[in-house]
Amino acid sequence: MNYDETLLRAKNFGSGMMSLGLHSKSLVGIYSCNRPEWILYEQGCYCYSLVVVPLYDTLGPEACSFIMKQTEMNLVVVEDDSKASLLIEKAPKSLKVLIGIKEIKRSTIERAAKRGIQIYSFEEVEKLGSKINHPEVPPDPEDLCTVCYTSGTTGNPKGVMLTHSNVVAGVSAVILQLGK
C-alpha cells in the first residue's frame, strides 16, 4: 500500500465512521495491537476531527469500561472477536457501534444486538465511506487530537488530553533532535 492508497483508504474509513452517526470532535476508541488498520483508523479520525482514544490489554476490562463511560464513546474499532466480547460485556449505554478488523462471530454479533450495539466489519465501513464520501473536517491546532489513558498504580486511569498542536510540537522536537 503506497501513500496515496493509504490516504484514500483512511479518508474512506473516516467517512464511513461519520456515516455511522459520528460528528467532528466525537471520541472514538480503538482496541487493537499495532497493525495497518490502526493507522487507517487514526488517519481517518484526523480527516474528520475525530478524537483518538486507544484502549489496550494492560488496562484490564474494568479500566476499559471506565474509559468508555468517562469519554461517552459510542464507537470502538476492535481487533477481533475476543476484544469485541470483552467490550460488549462491559459496555456503557453510550456504546452503539463496534467495528471488527478481523471476523466477529455470529454469536457475538447477536449478543451485541441484544445490548443495542451494532457490529460492522472494517471493510464494510471503508466501503460505506467510499460511497457516501463526506467532506473532510480538518482539525484546528487547538482541537483535541487524542486522549491517552495511563494505567497508573492506584485508582482509575487518568486521561492525558493532547491537542493537534501538542502532537505536531512533539514531532517537530524529534525532527530537531535527529538533526533533519
Taking each helix axis from N to C end, the angle separating 3-19 and 36-47, rounded to the nearest 10 degrees, works out to 60
pLDDT at 99 (0 to 100): 98
Kindly compute the dihedral angle of the four CA atoms of residues 145, 174, 34, 74, in this order, to the nearest 10 degrees.
-10
Instruction: Tell me which of 14-18, 82-86, 138-142, 175-179 is least confident.
Output: 175-179
> Is residue 180 predicted with pLDDT exceeding 70?
no
Domain ranges across the chain: 3-178
DSSP H or E stretch at residue 164: helix 164-178
Backbone φ and ψ of 175, nearest 5°: -60, -45
d(CA 115, CA 98): 12
Residue for grid cell 464507537: 75
| pTM summary value | 0.93
Which tens digits make up the pLDDT trace of 57-87?
A: 888 888 999 999 999 999 999 999 999 999 9
Which tens digits make up the pLDDT trace of 152-165?
A: 677 889 999 999 99
- For 3-178, CATH number out of 3.40.50.980, 3.30.365.10, 1.20.120.550, 1.10.10.10 equals 3.40.50.980
